[in-house]
Amino acid sequence: MLAPATTLFTGIGQLVTNDPAFAASAGVERLGIVDHAAMLVVDGVVQWAGAASSLPVADAAALAVSDADVVDLAGAAVIPGFVDSHTHLVFGGDRAAEFEARMSGQAYSAGGIRSTVAATRAATDAELTARLDTFVAELHAQGTTTFEIKSGYGLTVDDEARLLAIARRVTEDTTFLGAHVVPAEFAADPDAYVDLVVGEMLDACAPHARWIDTFCETGAFTPEQSRRILKAGAARGLGVRLHASQLAPGAGIRLAVDLDAASVDHCTYLTDDDIVALAGSSTVATLLPGVEFSTRQPYPDARRLIDAGVTVALASDCNPGSSFTSSMPFCIAVAVRDMGMTPAEAVWSATAGGAAALRRTDVGHLAPGARADFVALRAPGYVHLAYRPGVPLAAGVWRAGARLA
């Protein structure tokens, strides 16, 4: 049997654990901060994390005899790797012209999705794969160690299945989003498209997916169509997530809560009843600051959600239409500046919050038993993620104890 691979990370100036053993339920304490910390990683899993002065003697002794690898992080702050629970990274083309027109006053509409569908259908698997690999490198370099990817730019049985198969190469959190928008060829009969989504398309896509999602919004799918699609996915064993209330308030939030969705995403326009429903549920509200930034819409009110007791996640929604950023630090900075979040809340939501939105207990925190996914920041503390917007602060990124960037 091979000896376990053991690494001791020392010299951590500030360690954000998100570990309930160190953390209170709210405020900065929620981050479970340990100063002057060390972390012991065995076979890619955190075995111990805490104040360097209290590293258990038995572990220290074992290290001395096993000649363990020791990495001195020279005073850096360390946070859990970002968990980006909402992306659309498999697509062809871009929509820079649409963005430019928006910045001259044109409104965002769900219809723009169709232009990416045309470019994606025309792209080969090799082209889509190469581009995805570039995005993955971009995510890693910025500290994202877990990410979800949705289909939704194919909208035929074969195209949706191939987008999911391509995404599956790089993440287990793949989401079938055949119900992204009604494709042009079904414009006259949207319900016939819904029949296809819940029938042959779901059959072809379910083996490549962990989740099902629907865009429940005027111009995309009605609440009734969305319910039908999500229930069909759930019956096939897929977890439920939903895009809702991006462009206007609607019935999507209540639908998500009703179906015990892991997450409802966007939440830009919420009624008081929506907030009460979310607060009484285990559905995470995932906010996507890049969307409001790139569409010049009002930002969602994270403060209102958090004060009501709702679990909030932050994600990039990286896609060529509404939010072409893959940067979680950017999302944190905007959420702090414009959505009423404190830096501690934003960092928690971009790590532990994302993990909750994906119903994952192995990532988003640095407690014994967690996968050793973490970012060493070129900064003395986590606040710098919001305090130094636009500055690349990820000095080193590890996943399962192995260096990624």
Residues that bind Fe ion (CB under 5 A): 317
When binding is defined by CB under 6 A, the residue of 159, 317, 345, 373 that contacts ligand NIG is 317
When binding is defined by CB under 6 A, the residue of 291, 331, 375, 377 that contacts ligand NIG is 291
- Residue 245 interacts with ligand NIG (CB under 6 A): yes or no: no
First and final C-alpha spacing in the chain: 29
Torsion sign, CA atoms 244, 249, 250, 255: positive
Q: Which stretch binds ligand NIG (CB under 6 A): 26-34, 184-192, 307-315, 318-326?
A: 318-326
- The C-alpha atoms of residue 48 and residue 60 are separated, in whole angstroms, by 11
- Residue 290 interacts with ligand NIG (CB under 6 A): yes or no: no
When binding is defined by CB under 6 A, the residue of 321, 329, 343, 354 that contacts ligand NIG is 321
Pattern of binders to ligand NIG over 195-234, x per CB under 6 A? --------------------x-------------------
Q: Residue 208 CB, nearest distance to Fe ion (Å)?
A: 18
Whose structure tokens read 């893959």?
A: 326
- Residue 316 interacts with ligand NIG (CB under 6 A): yes or no: no
- Residue 286 interacts with ligand NIG (CB under 6 A): yes or no: no
When binding is defined by CB under 6 A, the residue of 171, 322, 342, 349 that contacts ligand NIG is 322
Q: Which stretch binds ligand NIG (CB under 6 A): 22-30, 229-237, 319-327, 377-385?
A: 319-327
Pattern of binders to ligand NIG over 57-96, x per CB under 6 A? ----------------------------------------
Q: Is the distance from CB of 345 to CB of 274 less than 8 angstroms?
A: no
CA atoms within 13 A on the CB side of 285: 32
